[in-house]
Amino acid sequence: METIKNFEEFKNIILSYRANKDLVSNLLSENFNLEKTIQEKIEIEQQLQVLFSQPKTDENSKKIVELQAERDKLIDLIYTGDFIWGFSLEDFSKMDLSKIPAEKLMRIPFSTATKWPPKFKLPKGFDPEKLVAKAKTYKGLGVEQLHKQGITGKGVKVAYIDKKLDLSHKEFKDRKIDFVNIQQNPNLDFHGYSVLSRLMGKNIGIAPDVDCVYYATDGTEGGQFADYIGSELKNEFAALKDILKRVKAGEKIVAVGLSASITYHIDLYTNGNTKKKDELLKQYNKLVKELENYGTAIFSANEFWNNFTYAYKKDCQKPNEDLDNYVSNVPKPNAVAVIDADKLTPMPYTTDGYKYENNFGCASWSIPQVLGLFCLAKQVDANLTMNEFAKIAQKTASKPNKYGTRLINAVELIKEVKFRLENQHEV
pLDDT in tens, 175-229: 999 999 998 777 888 899 999 999 999 999 999 999 999 999 988 766 677 788 8
Distances in whole angstroms, Cα of residue 264 to Cα of each of 113, 139, 193, 284: 35, 30, 22, 12
Do the domain assignments include residue 297? yes
Report which listed range, 31-45, 54-68, 202-216, 348-362, is most confident: 202-216
Shared domain check, 111 and 244: no
- 265 and 228 Cβ atoms separated by less than 8 Å: no
- 221 and 278 Cβ atoms separated by less than 8 Å: no
pLDDT at 426: 56
CA distance 329 to 312: 7
pLDDT at 81: 38
- 337 and 393 Cβ atoms separated by less than 8 Å: no
Do the domain assignments include residue 86? yes
Mean pLDDT of 27-56: 72
Q: Which of 100-109, 266-275, 366-375, 407-416 has the lowest mean pLDDT?
A: 100-109
pLDDT in tens, 13-27: 666 655 444 556 565
Mean pLDDT of 343-350: 91
Confidence of residue 424 (pLDDT cuts 50, 70, 90): confident
Do the domain assignments include residue 136? no
Shared domain check, 63 and 12: yes
pLDDT at 407: 96
Question: Which domain-ending residue is among 69, 94, 126?
Answer: 126
Question: Which domain-ending residue is among 93, 126, 159?
Answer: 126
CA distance 114 to 131: 13
pLDDT in tens, 116-127: 999 999 999 999
Mean pLDDT of 345-359: 91
Shared domain check, 230 and 288: yes
Please name every residue paired with 216 in a beta bridge, in sequence order, or none if there are none. 162, 181
Q: Where are the beta strands (DSSP E) in 67-219?
A: 110-111, 157-162, 176-181, 211-216
Q: Specify burial of residue 156 (Cβ count, 10 A radius: 0-12, 13-18, 19+).
A: buried
Burial 180-215 (b: 16+ CB within 10 A, else e): bebbebeebebbbbbbbbbbbbebbbbbbbbbbbbb
pLDDT in tens, 92-142: 899 888 988 888 888 888 999 999 999 999 999 999 999 999 999 888 889
CA distance 226 to 174: 38
Task: Domain count for the chain, please give it.
Answer: 3
Do the domain assignments include residue 131? no
The mean of the pLDDT values for the chain is 87
Question: Which domain-ending residue is among 98, 126, 154?
Answer: 126
Burial 246-256 (b: 16+ CB within 10 A, else e): bbeeebebbbb
Q: What is the pTM of this model?
A: 0.86
Shared domain check, 292 and 159: yes
Do the domain assignments include residue 137? no
Type of residue numbered 375: C
Backbone angles phi, psi at 205, to 5 degrees: -80, 150
* Angle, vertex CA 232, rays to CA 228 and CA 235, nearest 5: 145
Please name every residue paired with 354 in a beta bridge, in sequence order, or none if there are none. 346
Shared domain check, 65 and 197: no
pLDDT at 13: 63
Q: Which of 278, 134, 309, 283 is nearest to 204 (CA)?
A: 134
CA distance 408 to 398: 6
What is the CB neighbour count within 10 angstroms for residue 400?
11
Shared domain check, 83 and 151: no
Q: How far apart are the first and last CA of the chain?
A: 48
Shared domain check, 323 and 231: no
Shared domain check, 286 and 176: yes
Shared domain check, 174 and 294: yes
Shared domain check, 282 and 158: yes
Do the domain assignments include residue 135? no
Do the domain assignments include residue 236? yes
Contacts of 273 (CB under 8 A, 6+ apart): none
Please name every residue paired with 172 in a beta bridge, in sequence order, or none if there are none. none
Domain around 25? 7-126
Angle of helix 386-396 relative to helix 410-423, nearest 10 degrees, comes to 120
Shared domain check, 182 and 163: yes
Shared domain check, 268 and 153: yes
Do the domain assignments include residue 115? yes
CA distance 406 to 412: 13
* Residue with the larger pLDDT of the pair 160 and 273: 160
CA distance 240 to 287: 7
Mean pLDDT of 242-267: 95
Task: State the alpha helices, DSSP H only, in 181-326.
Answer: 190-200, 225-248, 262-270, 274-293, 301-307
What is the CB neighbour count within 10 angstroms for residue 30?
7
